[in-house]
Chain A
Amino acid sequence: MTDWLLVLAGALVGAPLRYLLGVDAKFRLHSVFPWGTFAANASAALLLGFVAQGATDGDLGPRLQLLLATGFCGALSTWSTFSYELLTLGSARRLGLAGGYLLLSVGAGVGLSFAGAAVADAVF
């Protein structure tokens, strides 16, 4: 029961944070490039790399994994909105932008995941 509550608690913060990042990026940057979703996915990838590697190193326990990894990072990041944004850009024939968004997201996401894990290795 506690496990589920931890997941819910993390997601209750992560999901609206992603929404607010999206609103804020749109308002500030006025760009068709979905910087909000990109920021949410990239920061979640960085944090999850840190948290997951922290578990492997033995210092971040299962409770923190449920709260931060499954709940917060999982809800902060998204594939569904990401893919729909790609479809929207593709439908508008912004194929270069769509391809750049895809490559940048995947490249930065995987890279930041390694970076977060490296930080965890250094800290723990």
Chain B
Amino acid sequence: MLTEVHFLTIGEAHYSVQGPAHPPAHANPLSPDLAQYGVGMLQKMALHTHSHPDHHPGVQLSVVGAVAVGGAAGAAARYGAELLWPTGPSDFPWTILLVNTVGCFLMGVLMVTLKLRFPAAPRLISPLLGTGVLGGFTSFSHYTDNVRQLFDEGRPGYAVGCMLLTVVAALAAVTAGAVATHAALGHGYRTRDGA
């Protein structure tokens, strides 16, 4: 299973997580000369007009708005989870761990689904659902602050446990989501990986 993960082609989907503004890494060599920078950017903008229509500068307000609305919805869902399953400062923070794990799994599912099944999806979908909803739902700062509070509460075992378990759970979840979606959509890992 692990070797199959290596064949995932998620460069483009990855950059659409961050925003549709970036060329894929393999088409993005560092310019050797700073004077060439502007020219290089223009060439890349031309090359990537179709898949990356929002090149910076000129961030599109609609994308920012989609991220904001999605992020607010995701944060509200996380707040709801905290209300439903509150954890005290010296408890193991299961709720945030679960929120982050579920969010990572869904990110794997979403990115692969968009790439394989809906490559021509409306350009706001990925910012809305990925960067927005799932980004706002999961929280890295709650994770680090839970670890700090557990240390402060004299629970170093819980603190280290939370620190490590979250990393393992998040990585397993995003990998499982991506691999399972690849399998469910019936695509071989190399279908779009010719290069």
Contacts and interface: CB of A to CB of B under 8 A. Distances in A.
A91 B166 CA distance: 20
Interface residues of A, number: 64
Interface residues of B, number: 73
Most buried by A among B63, B134, B141, B144: B141
A11 B107 contact: no
Contacts of B71: 11-12, 14-16, 18, 75
Contact of B28 (A19, A30, A113): A30
Interface string A22-66: 111011001010101100010011011100100000000000001
Interface of B: 5-11, 14-15, 17-19, 21-22, 25, 28, 30-31, 54, 56-57, 59, 63-65, 67-72, 74-76, 78-79, 82, 100, 103-104, 106-108, 111, 127, 130-132, 134-145, 147-149, 152, 163, 166-167, 170-171, 173-175, 178
Interface of A: 3-4, 7-8, 10-16, 18-20, 22-24, 26-27, 30, 32, 34, 36-37, 41, 44-45, 47-49, 52, 66, 69-71, 73-88, 90-93, 102, 105-106, 109-110, 112-114, 117
